[in-house]
Amino acid sequence: MEQSYFNIIPQKVMQATFKDGTKLKADAKLLYGIINSLTKKHGYCSASNGFLAETYGCSERAISRYIADLKKLGLIKTHVSDDNHRQIWTLETMASKTDTTTEQSRPIDRTGDGVRQNWRDPIDRTGDKLVNNISKSISKSNKDILSGSGEPDHTPYPEIIDYLNDKADKKFKHKSSKTRKLIKARYNDGFDLDDFKRVIDNKVSEWKGSPDMNQYLRPETLFGTKFESYLNQKMSSNQEKQSDLDRLAAQYGDW
């Protein structure tokens, strides 16, 4: 029977909540588990955001956001060593950390593949099977985050699709597996509900009513690989004015 990767995530992390009552995202909890597994040999993790993103299957931007959230909640601590490499401690390693400053400050070997090897060492202790377990578990989490722990997927699929249907006069279903996969992929990249609404507003203002482009007001187009460029697209003054009118109408009703 393969080792369960997620049994190393402590209850304090699973129940972590910000001061405003917002719960720590499940993706950040999964990242905590990955980081914790990488601390086993030296008592700290020195993996780069690039490596963590590759292991998790998301963007470096998302990794940066999750690490910031974990730090804000006091679940991890980071330190930049003299050779300009980041070191990360988790709850477990902070609790067990005693007189290990010399070992924890050990410079990263820069020879050959040394840099990559040093932050792969903790995984190598149990072989590549653990890496495969991580990938399988993360893939499974797209359907049910932390399957077996009872925690549901809180991605706001209905809110996003309802907003799209309302703005574009469409009738898409939020339970469509293809649509959910697209939305989840963008959430794993670190985007949130407001980002989705902004993309929808941008493209509805540009394409709605156009005989050629109206057909592209659909999840496959809006939530695909061009999502970030759509998000950062600057609206024309007329589009901004119409968007403001739409928001006022939604808030106060038509005059």
Answer yes or no: is pLDDT of 213 > 50. Answer: yes
Residue 189 burial (10 A CB sphere; 0-12, 13-18, 19+): middle
Q: What are phi and psi of 2, to 5 degrees?
A: -70, 145
pLDDT of residue 81: 77
Q: Which CATH number fits domain 5-141: 3.20.20.60, 1.10.10.10, 1.10.3720.10, 3.20.20.70?
A: 1.10.10.10
Q: Are 121 and 42 in contact (CB under 8 A)?
A: yes
Quick one: tokens of 161? 């699709």
Q: Burial letters for 61-99: b for 16+ Cβ neighbours within 10 Å, e otherwise?
A: ebbebbbebbeebebbbeeeeeeeeebbbbbebeeeeee
Q: For the chain, what is the mean pLDDT?
A: 75
pLDDT at residue 147, rounded to an integer: 39
Between 108 and 67, name the one with better pLDDT.
67
pTM confidence score? 0.43
Q: How confident is the model at residue 38 (pLDDT cuts 50, 70, 90)?
A: confident
Cβ(80)–Cβ(44) under 8 Å? no
What proportion of the chain, given as a percentage, has pLDDT over 90? 36
Residue ranges, CATH 1.10.10.10, the chain: 5-141
Residue 33 vs residues 28, 60, 133, 205: alpha-carbon distances, Å = 9, 17, 12, 42
The pLDDT of residue 243 is 55
Q: Which residue has the higher pLDDT, 124 or 13?
A: 13
